Structures are given as C-alpha cells and as structure tokens.
Amino acid sequence: MKQVKKLAAGLAIVAAASLTLTGCASDNNSGNAGATSTGPVTMEFWHNGTGDKSVAYWEEAIAAFEAEHEGVTITVTVVQNEELDGKLQTAMQAGNAPDIFLQRGGGKMAEMVENGLVMDITDKIDPDIKAAYGDGAFGFDSLDGKIYAMPMSAQPEGLWYSQDLFDQAGITKNPTDMASFNDAVSKLKAAGIQPVALGAQDAWPAAHWFYSFALRECSQEVVEGLATDKELADDCWLRAFTDLDTLNKTNPFNDGFLTTVAQQGAGSAAGLVANHQAAMDLMGAWEPGVIGDLTPDKETLPDLRWFPFPAVDGGEGDPDAIMAGSDGYSCSGDAPAVCVDFLNFIAQKEWDEKYATAYSTIPANSEAMDVVEDPALKAAGQAFTKAPYSVLWFDTSLGQDVGNAVNQQVVALLSGSATPQQALDATRAVLKAG
C-alpha cells in the first residue's frame, strides 16, 4: 500500500487526511444513511475515545442511530489508545473481533484485508457522503482500488505548543528550521521551562520524531517505498537517525521522558502541555482534544497553537510535506449488514461536525469544515491542505508487529543504548525479518 499520497491542489483538508475505516457490506438500501434494518441485531463497537466529550458523542450518536433502526443495539467498549491495536489483533486472531472498530489503515489494514477481517465498502458508501468527502478523501482508506474505511477526521502532525510559554521565553516567531527550533529550545530552558514533552514509554511518540526527520531528509520517492524497502540503502535514513540523536543530546525533552506516557493523566506528555509544565508536543490533530481532557477545567487549552515540523538543511523531502493519518471506523468481515448503515450515518455532516467538536479535531467531511474554530487546528488544517504530499505514520504503514519493532529502535537510540548506525541496522533487520 502506498504510504505517501499526492494531494490534489483543490482538495479540502480531508482529501489527504483519511486514514482507515472498513465498512460492512449491506443488503438493500445499505448505502443510504437513513436505511432501516429488519430483525433484532446486536453489534459490538470498540473505540479509543476515553474523554468525557468523546464518550458522550458516541452515546448520542448510537442512541440516534438505534432510534432510526428498530431492533438494532450497539454495545460499546472504550479501549485506551495505546492498548487498542494489540487487543484488536488478539481478538481478530481468536475470531472474536468487534463488529465496528477504530481503524488505523496502512499495513495494519492491509493485514486485515488479506485475512478477510474487514469489508470492502467501495459500493456501499452513500453517494451523498462520497460527494461531500471528495474522491481524494479515501486515499488512506483504500487498497488496490477498493475502500475499506470511512474517515471521520483528518490528523496532520506537527508541534502543538503553548503560546503563553513561548511568550514567557521571549520566542516571537515559530521555528521554521532546526536552527530556529534549537534557538527556541535554548530560550525555553533559560526561562526554566521544559521545552518538549515526550511520552517515550509508549514508544510510538518517540518514533514520530524519527518519522518527521525522515520526512524532511528523504525524497518523496524514497519515503513512498518504505513499505517494500528492506534495505533502507538511501543515506537519508541514517541522516534522520543522526538528526534525532543530535537533537536528543541537547536535552530538549522533559525530565524522565523515557518513562513518561503519551496521553494518560496530568503527568503524561499531553498532560505536561495541558498544565503548562512543558511547551511543545509532536502529535497529530487529536492533540487539542487529548489536552482538553487534561486541563484543570476540562476545556481546550486557550493558548494552544501549532506549527509544522521544521525543515532540515540539505533535506531532500519537501519542507511543506506533512506526516498524517485519520480517525476512521471499520466493520469486521462478518459484521451484520446494518454495520455499513452506521458508518454512513456518522459520516453525515451533522455527526461529523459533532465528532470534530467532541474530539477537538478536523472533520473528514468537507461540508463540516466550518465547525473548526480553534486557531491551532485551523493552522494545521491549512498547512495540510497546501501540503504537496502527505505520509502515513510509518508504524501504521508497516503493520502492527513490524511497526512496533521499528518504534523500539528509536527508543533505543534516545535511551543511549544504540548509535544512529546501530538503530538503522536494527531497523533493517526488523524489516527483513518482517
């Protein structure tokens, strides 16, 4: 599966942002958002929305759907984000997959498709929904010309930061390259502020720093070939590890970052930013919602802002390229036919607007874009729209087991137990073994 998606100039933010969703093939009228079902049906739904607002959103959406579909019941299990992929993989291997679940896309989705664990919804998506989304919106959800996912949000990655802490440190302009980024780190330290929050205990947040350096160092062609490139022969991969190693030696991350989690509690990386204990966090566009759940008043951080990952000198990647993904929801391969009706239902403008509000994120439905008022999300969305291409998270592209193993090599580098060359060599070995 191609992990880099060329963005057409006229597409809305969602055009590049869709990650993954799988729908279930329905029977008569299954492509209509308001289709009805016959007979009692119970579906199990797993999602990662642990915040109060996201939980309330799903309760409201499910109640509304059930009211329109007599005899349909959807039971919900909320799974912590960092545990979801592993639990889902275990359930699928045991033949106990939920009917509806959060989908990541990339190699993880490809593995499900190969084993018949998700449904092809290409011809089951409501025509009005397809028109509202646009053809480009399903890029990350597709494999071999077929759509396996219904995106609900766009997730461009970048640095989310506290404007108040930047002002306190005397930073008047957002960093645009590594020189100005390092200058900002120095100013924050001088002001007694931890520059960057990092939840390295969960591995993937640490790995995203490597991904972003690779996005800047490697050409689009090279990055696009990652899923099938077992050698990583291009020098850009070593440069990316070296860039991260060089940055790490300046001590930009919070104290104890190797044992800090990403998103759970005030002591997490997101919690440190939410409570002004650290200035920045490299994350996707779910960050405002996660931070909002960790502020003292449970509201979005008023001074939260965003800037894209800085350029690197001599990098072969386009400095405007964006690392990205999306939240999407899939139906299992043997889910009831009404499952796809649920996907069409939540993809409607009204419910995607409510989703974006509940999760403090960017909606996938282009008709719902006016709901985005947060300045950080607007900046991220505008950069995403203008990006010449976007790249799906490496670990998602590579699949569950290989992706997680690659992430661990980045943690080894940051912990000092591996040099850049050793981290690259270990990554190559993981790719070849996978």
Instruction: Please give the domain boundaries of the chain with CATH numbers for all domains.
Output: 41-156+325-373 (3.40.190.10), 158-323+392-433 (3.40.190.10)
Closest C-alpha among 270, 249, 131, 146 to residue 198: 270
pLDDT for the residue numbered 149: 86
pLDDT at site 38:
54
Residue-level pLDDT at 278 = 98
pLDDT of 306 strictly over 60:
yes
Q: How many Å apart are CA 154 and CA 133, to the nearest integer?
A: 11
Q: What average pLDDT does the segment 388-400 reach?
A: 89
Confidence of residue 67 (pLDDT cuts 50, 70, 90): very high
Rg (CA), the chain: 21
> Cα–Cα distance between 76 and 63 in angstroms, integer?
12
**The two three-digit tokens of residue 158, written as one number:** 């970048």
Q: Is the pLDDT reported for residue 133 higher than 90? A: no
Please give the pLDDT value at position 342.
98
Please tell me the predicted confidence (pLDDT) of residue 272.
98
Among the residue ranges 88-97, 389-398, 408-417, the one predicted with the least confidence is 389-398
Q: Residue 22 — pLDDT band, cuts 50, 70, 90?
A: very low
Give pLDDT tens digits for 337-363. Answer: 999 999 999 999 999 999 999 998 999
Mean pLDDT within 44-71: 96
- Side chain identity, residue 122: T
Confidence check: pLDDT of 250 > 60: yes
Q: What is the pLDDT of residue 177?
A: 98
Provide the H-helix boundaries in 105-234. Answer: 106-114, 127-133, 163-168, 178-190, 204-217, 220-224
CA angle, 324 then 99 then 203, to 5°:
40
Question: 47: closest CA among 329, 356, 343?
Answer: 329
Mean predicted confidence (pLDDT) in 79-93: 93
C-beta of residue 201 within 8 angstroms of C-beta of residue 261: yes
Q: Is the pLDDT of residue 326 over 50?
A: yes
Averaged pLDDT, 248-261: 98
At residue 259, the pLDDT reads: 98
Mean pLDDT, the chain, rounded, equals 89
- As given in the structure block, the two tokens for residue 232 are 């990583």
What CA–CA distance (Å, rounded) separates 3 from 179?
Answer: 29
Q: What is the DSSP letter of 238?
A: H
What is the residue whose two structure tokens read 């005397």? 170
The pLDDT assigned to 4 comes to 36
Predicted model pTM? 0.81
Task: Give the other-Cβ count within 10 Å of 420's Cβ.
Answer: 18
Find out whether 218 and 4 touch, Cβ atoms under 8 Å: no
Tokens read off for 421: 């060359």
